[in-house]
Amino acid sequence: MGRVIRADLDQLPSYVPGRSIPGAVKLASNEVAAAPLPSVIAAIAEAAAGANRYPDNSVTALRARLAAQLDVPTSQVATGPGSVALCEHLVRITCGPANEVVFAWRSFEAYPIITHVTGAHRRLVPLRGDHTHDLPAMLAAITSQTRLVFVCNPNNPTGTAVPRAELVAFLDAVPDGVLIVLDEAYHEFVTDPAVADGVALSRGRDNLAVLRTFSKAYRLAGLRVGYCVGPEPVITALHKVAVPFGVTTLAQAAALASLDAADELLAHCKDVAAERDRVRGELLAMGYAVPESQSNFVWLPLGNRSAAFNEHCLARKIVIRPFAGDGIRVTIGDPAENEAFLAAARDWLKTAQPPM
Alpha carbons 63 and 59: distance in angstroms, whole number: 6
At 351 the pLDDT is 82
Beta bridge partners of 323: 327
What's the mean pLDDT in 314-318?
A: 96
**Cα 234 to the chain's mean position, in Å?**
20
Task: Quote the pLDDT of residue 223.
Answer: 97
- Domain spanning 38-260, CATH class: alpha beta
Q: Is the pLDDT of residue 19 over 70?
A: no
- Would you call 202 exposed, middle or buried from its count of C-beta atoms within 10 A (0-12, 13-18, 19+)? buried
- Output 226 or 22, whichever has higher pLDDT: 226
Model confidence band, residue 1 (pLDDT cutoffs 50, 70, 90): very low
Domain with CATH 3.90.1150.10 in the chain: 7-30+263-351
Instruction: State pLDDT tens for residues 250-295.
Output: 999 999 999 999 999 999 999 999 999 999 999 999 999 999 999 9
H/E stretch holding 338 reads: helix 335-351
Strands 226-229 and 77-80: antiparallel
pLDDT band at 354 (very low <50, low <70, confident <90, very high): low
Mean pLDDT of the region 241-249: 96
Question: Cα 332 from chain centroid?
Answer: 15
Q: How many residues does the chain have?
A: 356
Selection from 201, 91, 105, 228 nearest residue 147 by Cα: 91
pLDDT band for 95, please (50, 70, 90 cuts).
Answer: very high
DSSP 298: E
> Binning pLDDT at 50, 70 and 90, where does residue 15 land?
low
* Helices 232-241/83-94 angle, 10° precision: 100
Residues 310-329 have a mean pLDDT of 96
**Other beta carbons within 10 Å of 190:** 20
Q: How many CA atoms lie less than 13 Å away from 335 in the CB half-sphere?
A: 5
Nearest to 330 by CA among 285, 278, 270, 267: 278
The percent helix, strand, coil of the chain (3-state, each to 5) is: 40, 15, 40
Please compute the mean of the pLDDT values over residues 6-24 and round it to a whole number: 72
- CA–CA dist 244, 310 (Å, integer): 40
Burial of residue 321 (number of CB atoms within 10 Å: 0-12, 13-18, 19+): buried
7-30+263-351, what's its fold? Answer: Aspartate Aminotransferase, domain 1 (3.90.1150)
Which candidate, 230, 228, 251, places its Cα nearest to that of 85? Answer: 228
C-alpha 172 chain-centroid distance: 24
Which candidate, 200, 191, 171, 157, places its Cα nearest to that of 267? 191
Give the Cα separation of 188 and 190 in Å (integer). 6
- Cα separation, 182 vs 189, in Å, equals 16
Domain with CATH 3.40.640.10 in the chain: 38-260
Q: What is the pTM of this model?
A: 0.94
The pLDDT value given to residue 2: 60
Q: Mean pLDDT for the chain?
A: 95
